[in-house]
Amino acid sequence: MKETYIPTVYLVIPCYNEEEVLPETVKRLTEKLQKMQQAGLAGEKSRMLFVDDGSKDRTWTLISAFSDQNPLVCGLKLAHNRGHQNALLAGLMEAKARADCAISLDADLQDDIEVLDEFVQKFREGCDVVYGVRKKRETDSFFKRTTAQGFYRVMRLLGVETVYNHADYRLMSQRALDALSEYREVNLFLRGIVPLIGYRSDYVFYDRHERFAGESKYPLKKMISFALDGITSFSVKPLKIISNLGILLSVLSVGGLIYALISYFTGNAVAGWTATISSIWLLGGIQLLCIGVVGGYVGKIYSEVKARPRYRIEQKVGEEELEQPK
C-alpha cells in the first residue's frame, strides 16, 4: 500500500453495564482518534462504534447522548444480551460496510490505545489481521495469570489454533471481515475463528493497564464457560480422550476379572467391601464425566442446527443512524 493511503478506521467497542467507564472511554478515544486523523493514519470518516449488549444500567443512554454531542461516536443497541462475542461480531459486521479496517477493543481501555498507530501502520503495510498481544501478565492476580496461561496451553494441546496472550484486541481489514462473515456458527469463539481466515497477519505487543472503573465482566464462572466453549467449538479431542479412556478401563477390567477368577479358584478370595465400593464410585464418576463431555457436544449441535439469529439490532445512533439498514 502507498504511504499516502489514509484508511477509514472504525473502533468497535462492545459494552455491557459500562456506565462508570464510558465518559472517560469516549474522552480518551476521541482524543486518540483525532490525533490519528491529524497524523494521516485515519480518514475523516473514521468513527467509534459502541455496541450495547443489552445493558441494565445507563450505558445506552450515555452512548446516545455522546453521539448527539460528538460526531465521532456511533452506537448499536442489541435487543437482548447476547454475550461479548456476539456483540463484538455485530459491531464488526456493521463496520464492514463503512470501514477499510476495524479495530476491536474493550470499553475499560485496559488495552493500550497508544499502540493503535502501530495497528494501522501494519495494515497499511499489507496486513489483513493484526493481533494485539500482551507483553506480560504482571497486572493479573496469580490465579488469573496461571489459569489464563493454562488455557492457552490446553488449547494448543487440543489442536486449536490461537494466538498466545491475545484476547480480542485486533485489527481486521475489510477483506478479513468479509471472510469472517462467512463463518456461520452460533457458538462464537472469535479467538479461534480469526486465525482460520488465513490472510497475512502480524502482531503488536503492548502492556495491559489496570481497569480504571467498574468491575470485570469476566468473573471466574464466565471465564470457565468461555474456555469450555472454545474447546468444544474447535476440537473433538475430548471425545477421543473419552474413547481412549474407555478402552483403557476395559483392559483394566478384563485384567481385574482374570485376577478375581484366579483368586477364587486358588482359594485366596477375600470379601472386600471397601474395594468394591471404591471401584463403583470411581467408575461411576468417570462415566458421569464422560456423559457430561458428550452432552456438551450434543448441546453445541442442538444450538447450531436451530440456526437462530446470533443477535438482533434494536436501535442505531450516530452517522445519521449508520445510514439506516438496507
What is the tens place of the pLDDT at every residue in 225-282?
666 666 666 666 676 676 667 667 666 666 666 666 676 667 665 565 446 655 666 6
Say if residue 122's pLDDT is above 80.
yes
User: Cell 452460533 sits at which residue?
Assistant: 186
pLDDT for 11-65, tens place per residue? 999 999 999 999 999 999 999 999 999 999 999 999 999 999 989 999 999 999 9
Amino acid of residue 88? L
Q: DSSP string of 81-113? A: ---HHHHHHHHHHHHHTT-SEEEE--TT--S-G
User: Cell 452512548 sits at which residue?
Assistant: 63
Amino acid of residue 282? L
**Strand-by-strand arrangement of the 47-52 sheet:** 201-206, 129-134, 166-173, 101-104, 9-15, 47-52, 73-78, 313-317
